Amino acid sequence: MLPEDRRVGGIAASTGTVGDSYDNALAENVNGSYKNELILRRTWADVVDVENATFEWVNWWNESRLHQSLGYRTPAEVEAEFWEHHPN
């Protein structure tokens, strides 16, 4: 979507003018955790190693990590609870 299209539609951009996440607190937090907990802790052999580790980290983030904002539950638990109460 071009900036002109957003203005016409009354849509606000969710990223900065250069396409970064620095004005999105949630994305900035996740990106910071990703970099500090995974990327910056080792030297990577190649991009495939980074891709595989990223896949595993995202799975851990969504399936195993307890999130304070979710009452120390995982996103998977919260989603399962939601669908239990909203089956359609």
Q: What is the pLDDT of residues 15-59, one digit of tens each?
A: 555 666 666 777 788 888 999 999 999 999 999 999 999 999 999
Let me know whether 68 and 78 are in one domain: yes
Let me know whether 33 and 52 are in one domain: no
Let me know whether 79 and 51 are in one domain: yes
| Domain range for 21 | 14-43
What's the token pair of residue 55?
Answer: 């896949």
Q: What's the total number of domains in the chain? A: 2
Let me know whether 27 and 38 are in one domain: yes
Let me know whether 59 and 73 are in one domain: yes
Contact (Cβ atoms closer than 8 angstroms) between residue 1 and residue 11: yes
DSSP 3-state assignment of 18? coil
**What pLDDT does residue 30 have?**
85
